Amino acid sequence: MSSCFQTSMPYVSIVIINARNIKNLESCLKSIYKTQYSNYEVLVVDCQTPKIEELAMRYNFRLIGFKNDVGPAKSHNIGFKNISINSKYIVFLDNDIKVTPHWLKRLVDVMEKDRSIGIAQACILQYDHPDKLDHSCLSIDLLGTWVSTYGLKQSSIGNRIIEIFAASSAACITRRNIYEITGGFDDDYFIYDDDTDYSWRVRLIGCKVVLVRDAIVYHKSNIEKKLNPFRVYHSTKNRLYTLFKNAELENLLIRGSIYLFLSFLAIHVSILINTQFSISIIKAVYEFMKNLRKIIIKRVYIQSMRAISDKILFSKGFLRNSIEFTVNELLQEYKYLRRKRI
């Protein structure tokens, strides 16, 4: 890593989110230090990883450690608060990402050439299937489910840069000033859908979110995580948060009513599958209602910054009125749970 006083390359802060996993983190760091871009720093926001101090000394990164799990959403913000004063861009990486030598230069080049871009996601490929794409959000359906690139061939991306609705926080770059204006990630999310929320707010102030095809990284995680009560709780809660903060009033009334109705329906249906799912949904709706005043305050601020209407997002295909992607996802989960029971 070179001095931040070089002017040919904007200074970048790379923030890695890590929790109790030194093996993945070390693999990620090894790949980062082969990056063909010199003007950067590395910060690791860590939760409860043994011997990480030794790793910090060996790889010369700044460590921000916590004994309690604050969650990925808040970890992003903690990382941002500790970046260098010289940083123009912030990169967020999951600890199970392996980067390629030119990934960072290509992300920075895209941001430098087009100031209307607020977030650029790397082209995330599956580590075990390197010809296939990992998740990026082309659009969201009526219930907030991603219309995802997961499983598609990398060759299916026609242009070098494609516009997407939301970037995965597993590997993306964002502008420092945009992060400051929008308020960054929402601490109240803890985990799941926090990147959807941040991307939506970036779009509302008139910025684009893109995927850069030749900024290649690999994701080791099994991203097709199956449903469990923890995930059901946070996903249900956070999709309500995201919708009520970011949608225009007409869109909110339609989507919010349908989402709440289907949530209550899901409470009854999930009793047949797993009563813990029902309890998780009830807890999520209760948590949302309990924090409604706080959410309204956030909504007022977000809507005051709005530069584009939801109609534009609909016209570009980023917001969809169907629920087919949610239904397909739930059917896959249901089949998986039935197989486990047999």
User: What are the pLDDT digits (tens) for 67-107?
Assistant: 889 999 999 999 999 999 999 999 999 999 999 999 999 99
In a domain, 1, yes or no: no
In a domain, 5, yes or no: no
Q: Give me the domain span that covers residue 16.
A: 12-219
Same domain, 49 and 141: yes
In a domain, 152, yes or no: yes
Same domain, 147 and 285: no
Same domain, 20 and 154: yes
Identify the domain boundary among 166, 199, 219: 219
Are 104 and 89 in contact by the 8 Å Cβ rule? The answer is: no
In a domain, 224, yes or no: no
Identify the domain boundary among 219, 249, 268: 219
Q: State the sign of the Cα–Cα–Cα–Cα dihedral 129, 133, 136, 140.
A: negative
Identify the domain boundary among 219, 239, 261: 219
Which DSSP helix (H) or strand (E) runs through 98?
A: strand 97-99
Same domain, 72 and 166: yes
Q: State the sign of the Cα–Cα–Cα–Cα dihedral 186, 189, 192, 193.
A: negative
- For the question of whether the overall pTM of this predicted structure is more than 0.85, the answer is yes
261 contacts: CB under 8 Å, gap ≥ 6 = none
Are 248 and 310 in contact by the 8 Å Cβ rule? The answer is: yes
Would you write out the chain's pLDDT as a tens digit for each of its 342 residues?
A: 433 334 479 999 999 999 999 999 999 999 999 999 999 999 999 998 999 999 999 999 999 998 889 999 999 999 999 999 999 999 999 999 999 999 999 999 999 999 999 999 999 999 999 999 999 999 999 999 999 999 999 988 888 999 999 999 999 999 999 999 999 999 999 999 999 999 999 999 999 999 999 999 999 976 456 778 999 999 999 999 999 999 999 999 999 999 999 888 888 877 777 789 899 999 999 999 999 999 999 999 999 999 999 999 999 999 999 888 887 777 776 666 666 655
Question: Distance from CA of residue 167 to its chain's centroid?
Answer: 6
Same domain, 23 and 145: yes
Count of structural domains within the chain: 2
Coil, strand or helix at 186: coil
Same domain, 206 and 233: no
